[in-house]
Amino acid sequence: MKIVSTSECDRTKLVAGIKRRLNTFEGAFAQNVDSSLAAKIFGEKLSPIESVRRIIADVKERGDDAVLFYNCAFDGVSLNKDELLVSEEETEDAYNTIDKSLLKAIKKAKDNITAFQDHVKITSPGRLSTDGVSLELIYQPIEKVGIYVPGGKASYPSTVLMCAVPARAAGVDRVVMCTPPGKDGRVSPERLVAARETGVAEVYKIGGVQAIAAMAFGTDTVPKVDKIVGPGNVFVTMAKKEVYGYVGIDMLAGPSEVVVLADEKADAALIASDLLSQAEHPGAAMLVTPSRQLAEDVKTEVEKQLKTLPSRKLAEESLQGLGILVVTRDMEEAVEITNSIAPEHVGLHLEDPEAVLPRLRHAGTVFVGDFSPVAVGDYIAGPSHVLPTGGTARFFSGLSVNDFLRRLSVISFSRKALVEAAPDIITMAETEGLPAHAQSVRMRLK
């Protein structure tokens, strides 16, 4: 990993370069997207976004037939229409297949996530009544939600939990899931068990852009949902961006990332393990510290731990492109740089983390202390691990139960209250050139 000191470079350019590499649509991972398969399928060279738009349009027009075609073309999975929905038998087989320790872990994670989501769930504040005016804000769950869970070579039962449990805690009536099957046409048993445990109504064997399009517009087999949540590759993220407005979405998330904010007393070995845990996703791994010695020690420790890491090749590739150790002039500058990056995860390895925590304004989740690795948030703690990346923590938050609630305002005026408010309403309506608005008030006062 490269060590860079802000006293030896232009800090503004350094941070701008980091943010550019992390950008979901233009950064390092987006630039490495292989579009050769899409070119072969469509018979012409297309940009990633052109491919995404073509797939969405096709699924919107041809429904299941298009879904089946792209399942086969992109994922090499040949299914018929009746096989898209995971059967009850497949789910029962999944329970007989997975290790009992994994089932126990899934149940424990579900309980923890449910407890936290119930704790943070917004409730209606009650009615505000004054002089004939009654105002109320009611929170209601979204009716139908679709979750996307990546699959293929890897399997993420944790993502099922982190998307489905908050939705169920909100009271969503129907939660459906799309996830890519393996070459054998089956969904991994751990994902199916996680889905059943969290109350997912239906699981469909669909991946990629076609899954997002199917949930956004509906097909004969897949229901049209009201909101789509869950992470995916750059094509999936582009697809969510394209269908936004037809459906709601959670965020536009890209590859995983962590910034470790540390002082000179931090444990270099623990920091190195945090950086490597993000690098193996693959993802971005960054240390920001005022201590040059710590940066040197962390670099040495990363190289040492890499030698025995099973995912060494993947982690090394990530660190080469998105790994950096930044040495700052002081802790104040370290905090400023972290806020500028607005990372998905921030790890605090500090003697006095509580003094720094209130100054961290832009982050997905903050992990405080030596015994709080990002992995506890990934799997078991309670807050969802579906988090903003690529600097979007400036305006997005991590997924929660409240993302599955919508607000409904209720307004009731008495005649007396309307009489009192009428002059102001009429004045504003006529100022804006909307005479019918003013007339709608006058007619009630005759």
**Cβ atoms within 10 Å of 263's Cβ, excluding its own:** 18
Per-state percent for the chain, helix, strand, coil, to nearest 5: 50, 15, 35
Query: 130 pairs with which residues across the strands?
Result: 133
In angstroms, rounded to a whole number, what is the distance separating the alpha carbons of residues 24 and 231? 12
In angstroms, rounded to a whole number, what is the distance separating the alpha carbons of residues 207 and 50? 18
Which burial class, exposed, middle or buried, applies to 389 when counting CB atoms under 10 A from its CB (0-12, 13-18, 19+)?
A: buried
Q: Which of 345, 362, 420, 430 is catalytic?
A: 345
Residue 408, classed as helix, strand or coil, is strand
CB-CB contact of 286 with 254 (8 Å): no
Peptide bond into 282 cis (omega under 30): yes
- CA torsion, ordered 356, 322, 256, 333, to nearest 10 deg: 10
Helices and strands (DSSP H and E) totals, the chain: 19, 14
CB-CB contact of 404 with 174 (8 Å): no
Contacts made by residues 440-443, CB under 8 angstroms, sequence distance 24+: none
CB-CB contact of 261 with 350 (8 Å): yes
Query: 4 pairs with which residues across the strands?
Result: 326
> Order of strands, edge to edge, in the sheet holding 227-229?
202-205, 174-179, 144-148, 227-229, 248-249
Tokens of 350: 């500090």
Q: Which of 242, 301, 316, 344 is catalytic?
A: 344
Parallel, antiparallel, or unpaired for β 202-205 and 174-179? parallel
H-type helices in 292-368, by residue range?
292-306, 312-322, 331-341, 353-356
Active site includes 344? yes
Helix (H) or strand (E) holding 278: helix 268-279
Q: By C-alpha distance, which of 160, 157, 147, 165 is closest to 111?
A: 165
Query: 139 pairs with which residues across the strands?
Result: 407
Active site includes 345? yes
Q: Which residues are catalytic?
A: 344-345
